[in-house]
A and B are shown apart, each in its own frame.
Chain A
Amino acid sequence: MKVVVIGNGMVGYKFCEKLIAKSLPGLELTVFGEEMFPAYDRVHLSEYFAGKTLADLSMTEFSWYADNDVKLELGNPIVRIDRTQKKIHSFSGAETAYDYLVMATGSAPFIPAIPGIDKEGVFAYRTLEDLHLIQRHAPLSRKAIVIGGGLLGLEAAKAMLDLGITDTHVVEFAPRLMPRQLDHNASVILQQKLSALGITCHLNKNTIAVLGNESVRGIMFSDGSMLHADMLVISAGIKPRDELAKACELPVGHRGGIIVNDLMQTADPSIYAIGECALHNNMIYGLVAPGYDMADTVVAHLSGASKMFCGFDMSTKLKLIGIDVASFGDPFIGGEEAKTIVFEDSHNGIYKRINFTPDGKQLLGGILVGDASSYNMLQQVCRNQMTLPPDPMDLIIKPRQGSSMAGVDALPADALVCSCENVTKADLTDAMSAHGCETVDALKKCTKAGTGCGGCVPMVKDILLHTMKQQGRYIRNVICEHFQYSRQELFDLIRLKELKDFDAVLDTYGKGDGCEICRPVVSSLLASLWNEIVLKKENHTSQDTNDRFLANIQKGGTYSVVPRIPGGEITPDKLIVIGEVAKKYNLYTKITGGQRIDLFGAHVSDLPLMWEELIAAGFESGHAYGKALRTVKSCVGSTWCRFGLHDSVSYAIRIEERYRGLRAPHKIKSAVSGCIRECAEAQSKDFGIIATEKGWNLYVCGNGGSKPQHALLLASDLDSDTCIRYIDRFLMFYIRTADPLARTATWLNKMEGGIDYLRNVVVNDSLGICGQLEQEMQALVDSYQCEWKQVVDSPELRKRFNHFVNAPGEKDPNVQFETLRDQKKAAGW
């Protein structure tokens, strides 16, 4: 049987994979692809900008095709189908005969016929090639417009932001965003959220011309107004690739798409069409899951089984980090056929709508904006026609904790969890009992669930946790194979037995020989509990390399050094010393985001020498290498600033000196602002303090970095001493209870009861532990010593700072530097 596939996209590839799995005798499978690359994951295409490579995005290893005797011709599109002879002609001129032809040609972006649309700087957003061109153009661009405010357009707009184009606009013809998924009110809330990100939306706008000479300069709307930009991305919908079908007189829909029946057959029974090029029941499915189901249908048919494609759920979730938007079932249905409940909280930007049958028994569809945590569950309830609670409102206003866990239980065994890979709840639970899968990764490998669009992964996880619980397998966040305890449990145990070094902890509570996961966790616990020098003989090899050498390892194996500069205040004399040390040891210098100076490129054997000089000038370790307090940033405050309410610098120094060296589950950053203008950005820190007329406001659990989160107000108008007491309690509570490597923000996000609970513990002493927390913190404060001073003073410790054990002082000859803007930099990997 000769099967030929036109198109090596997601669906075309999935068809091949499924067909090969059937091992049909005498099968000859040939694939023609127009793109230069083997099939890749288009759904996650935007991650190309985040550094994913073709190899990361590929649907399979390149060798898969050869290993399975699939003939793959890339960069060789089919130009003609000869139905009478059952042959196809490719661009290279060759002809290939087929018994069955599968068209998986996908779709092309719809490019509206606007004058000027062919100018330089106008891009589509569909292929790797498109993204490659966009990436090349982006550095030249300062303002970008995306035409189209649908799912894809918004994803493209976010990508523009991520590429550094801070002024990004979305233009939508319809009066609302994502018109196929959202109603008016949902769109309004989404628009607010986008604008907070820096994306401006223009609705109800009909673009009639692209401005500019050779390159795009902007666009003009039918109302005569204009919007300027130097980059334009078109995402105005898709156009099924039906040109081959049309040319060989297969019927196509009047708005495009190759017409197929429930078996995915075109009018010619030996030609099938699947994926985005197929028009089934007057529908084009622009999603990958239905495409996979279509592929399954054809594979079943070719191998003699019976399966029909009977339409597909169009539920979708927007993939924008930080913005939850989803719709499922029929989001708009109302009137006679359905009742609707709407929950709207414009203060927090949350909108939820559910539609259900007039008898209140079944869910028909809905919309979630701002909080889509219940998306997977609601979609399941809808798809499986599960019975609703007596008051359907509970579905959307129940607090999110726990509710989804109770939910998975109610799911029938045949509930389809992963629609891309057709995996049911029963498949997952079977994989757990029959194959012993105990992690999401294991389930993914075993059942393929979650390997398509990835949308079902949270539900897979819930099912996993729930089933394990049901089977009496108590799941805790155990540290690793060596310790069957959570970090918090181990903290209590170590304190109880007063264990002081890694091997003692391992031999008492663990098994095996430890590893790179548990060693640093235990080291950090020991430091938080006893505050002994981290380089103590028995422990120093269990420190992460940064802690072991008290500096940050950098490309090439040299280290960077950051002396502490409390509050960011430094005297000219000390600045000169830093400059002199940098010069003497030939270091690259850079000001950090935490108001201090980083010295890069130090050889390990130079570290004690440098520190000897720094310490002599009054510096001490900045702990930039540790999971410890980093900096307390400050604005200049009332000593100089005409707006300053209090002396923020003095307070920042007091705080930084109090908590310096404090070891924690992760690094801790802080800041103090002298007034509400918040120049120190305290609300992005693990704990931040802002001066008020009456004292200080204390904010906690903020985060910058890749997952920014605003700190939340813990208490207001505190005097300086009370504020410090609250910080003592807060930090100690975090140190005691957080998971390894959880920043305060993550810790709070996982805490049941959230900030209210935390406030109760820290401010109202609801657990009755505040006295103890303060005591423990005071003990740590009192036992602080500068680690670098200890090293510099100890010949025994200094000996460890050598690259070669048998050639002390000799530097690693492999270390190489290049020059950039008159300083050195590490040679590339």
Chain B
Amino acid sequence: MNVIANSAVEWYFACHITDVPHNGGVCVKVEDTQIALFHFAHRDEWFASDNECPHRKQMAISRGMLGSHHGEPKVACPFHKKTFSLTDGRCLNSEEGLSIRTYPVKVEEGKVFINIAALNQPFTSTIQTDAYEDQTD
């Protein structure tokens, strides 16, 4: 019902623009999957990507911090600070070839839509090991 058929691509209604914090993200439920949606207000841009971080398979990218790397917009996973380009999804700070999928976003009349056509295409991301956590109270 939420899916709007649009000749070649599918635009999914995610939420209203006011639902997304400035320079931050939210998680959108798309049937059984989760997509991270970001309003990068400082650049006046919207981005969407997988919510799952390929590093440790954590559903957390939407809670990540936004930033830029030599001008390229990126998001940092809150778990171990792997950063991913919001333009093409490649990991910017590991050599393991990790990546996430990114999705086009459009805003119309205060509503945000995500193009989920890429969801149906096969995709694999590499996994790596090793982690550091500081848990002391």
Contact = CB atoms under 8 A, between A and B. Distances in A.
Nearest to A543: B65
Nearest to B24: A541
Given A514-B42, A804-B29, A548 B14 contact: no
Contacts, number: 126
Given A481-B70, A545-B64, A548-B63, A516 B83 contact: yes
Interface stretch (B98-106, B117-125, B129-137): B129-137
Q: Would you call the interface of chain A mostly helix, strand, loop, or mixed?
A: loop
Contact of B137 (A538, A556, A624, A815): A624
Contacts of A503: 23, 41-42
A51 to B, nearest CB: 7
Interface string A489-521: 000000000000011001000001111111110
Q: Give the interface size class of chain B.
A: 35 or more
A513 B67 contact: yes
A515 B64 CA distance: 10
B29 to A, nearest CB: 4
A557 interface: yes
B136 A704 contact: yes
A760 interface: no
Contacts of B56: 555, 829
Given A503-B42, A513-B40, A594 B60 contact: no
Interface string A417-452: 000000000000000000000000000000000000
B58 interface: yes
A515 B29 contact: no
A624 B136 CA distance: 9
A515 B81 CA distance: 11
Contacts of B66: 513-514, 541
Contact of A516 (B25, B37, B42, B65): B65
Given A515-B68, A516-B81, A803-B27, A553 B136 contact: no
A553 B60 contact: yes
A546 B60 CA distance: 12
Contact of B37 (A517, A541, A598, A805): A805
Contacts of A592: 137
Nearest to A810: B29
B59 to A, nearest CB: 5
Contact of B19 (A513, A518, A805): A805
B71 A541 contact: no
B26 A540 contact: no
Q: Among A546, A556, A630, A815, which residue has the most Cβ atoms of chain B within 10 A?
A: A556
Contacts of A502: 23
Contact of B129 (A53, A514, A548, A804): A53
Contacts of B43: 513
Interface in A620-670: 624, 630-631
A678 interface: no
B90 to A, nearest CB: 16
Contact of B23 (A516, A542, A814): A542
A92 interface: no
Given A519-B67, A805-B20, 5 more contacts: A537-B22, A541-B25, A545-B63, A557-B58, A812-B59
24 contacts: A53-B129, A55-B129, A481-B70, A482-B68, A513-B66, A514-B67, A514-B68, A515-B68, A516-B76, A516-B81, A537-B22, A542-B65, A545-B64, A548-B24, A553-B63, A553-B79, A557-B59, A557-B60, A592-B137, A624-B137, A804-B27, A806-B14, A814-B52, A829-B57
